[in-house]
Amino acid sequence: MSMLLALVALGTTALQSQNINSYLQGDLRDATFVARVVKGDQQELKKINKDFGQSYRFETTSIKVKEPFKIRSEATVEDTHIVYIVNGVEQLIRVPRAGINQRTNLSRAPGRRQTLLDFGILTPSLFRGLFEAKFVRNDRETGEPVFDITYLPSLDDTSRNRIWIDPVHHIVTRREWFNQVGRQLATFYYENPKEVGGVWMPTRLEVKNVEGKVAGIVKYDSIKVNTGLPDSIFSTQ
């Protein structure tokens, strides 16, 4: 029986595509969801980098995304409301109470651009002028295809991600994040996929630092897909 199971696993692995385009979710046009922090260990998060733990200080964050490359996050801490927007290469951080209205062009800092990859979702736009993918192997244990995701050479950023993809639900299940000198910073696990409007999205994110300590856990709920979000809410002006 063990030999039969091994042969079945081998056959399943062999059938997995080595082309990243086979795992992209082209039906996703926009999405709205709420991120709820379950765990945020600031001491362990700081071991990833000094700023990584900031987003884990917000108990809940409302997130809206739209293709291509539009993200709007809003959170409130006590009486302070914070808005974070990425629209292409333009970033806006707005904190009205503190009089902060900071705009930044990230065209020369692609590693600072938040994308759907951060949420475990792959869409065609990611591989049109930003990332390129190289097949590495099929995972021996799960059979999942593994790819290295790097920035285009013209963007002059050598940081990279190694990702494992669920070939059925077309979500990233694991992502290893490396900085520009090749040092691993963290590992992200995307779990509990849910289908909403024909699009699969992970509903739980767990991040571990390089010591293998669970530094943060986030759950995503109240998910809505393809509701026709207007471009105006992603304005950085």
Return the structure tokens found at 69: 């490359």
Closest-CA residue to 205 (of 194, 220, 226)? 220
In a domain, 236, yes or no: no
Environment class of 110 (CB within 10 Å of its CB; exposed 0-12, middle 13-18, buried 19+): middle
| Token pair recorded at residue 165 | 């993809």
Query: In which band, very low, low, confident or very high, does the pLDDT at 15 lie, cut at 50, 70 and 90?
Result: low
Would residue 7 count as lying in a domain? no
pLDDT of 5 > 70? The answer is no
In a domain, 67, yes or no: yes
- Residue of higher predicted confidence among 31 and 237: 31
Query: What is the CATH classification number for the domain harbouring 125?
Result: 2.50.20.10
- The reply to whether 233 falls in a domain is no
- Average of pLDDT values for 124-133? 97
Assess if residue 112 is contained within a domain: yes
Q: Is the pLDDT of residue 23 over 90?
A: yes
d(CA 116, CA 225): 14
DSSP state of 231: G
Q: What pLDDT, in 10s, does the model give residues 206-225?
A: 999 999 999 999 999 999 99
Domain that holds residue 130: 19-228
The pLDDT assigned to 197 comes to 92
* 237 occurs within a structural domain: no
pLDDT classification of 232: cutoffs 50, 70, 90? very high
User: Does residue 14 or residue 38 have the better pLDDT?
Assistant: 38
User: Number of folded domains in the chain?
Assistant: 1
235 domain-assigned: no
Q: What angle do CA 225, 195, 230 make, to 5 degrees?
A: 5
Average pLDDT, the chain: 93
Q: Does residue 76 fall inside a structural domain?
A: yes
* Model pLDDT, residue 79: 85
The overall pTM is greater than 0.85? yes
Q: What is the tens place of the pLDDT at every residue in 58-117?
A: 999 999 999 999 999 999 988 889 999 999 999 999 999 889 999 999 999 999 999 999
pLDDT reported for residue 174: 98
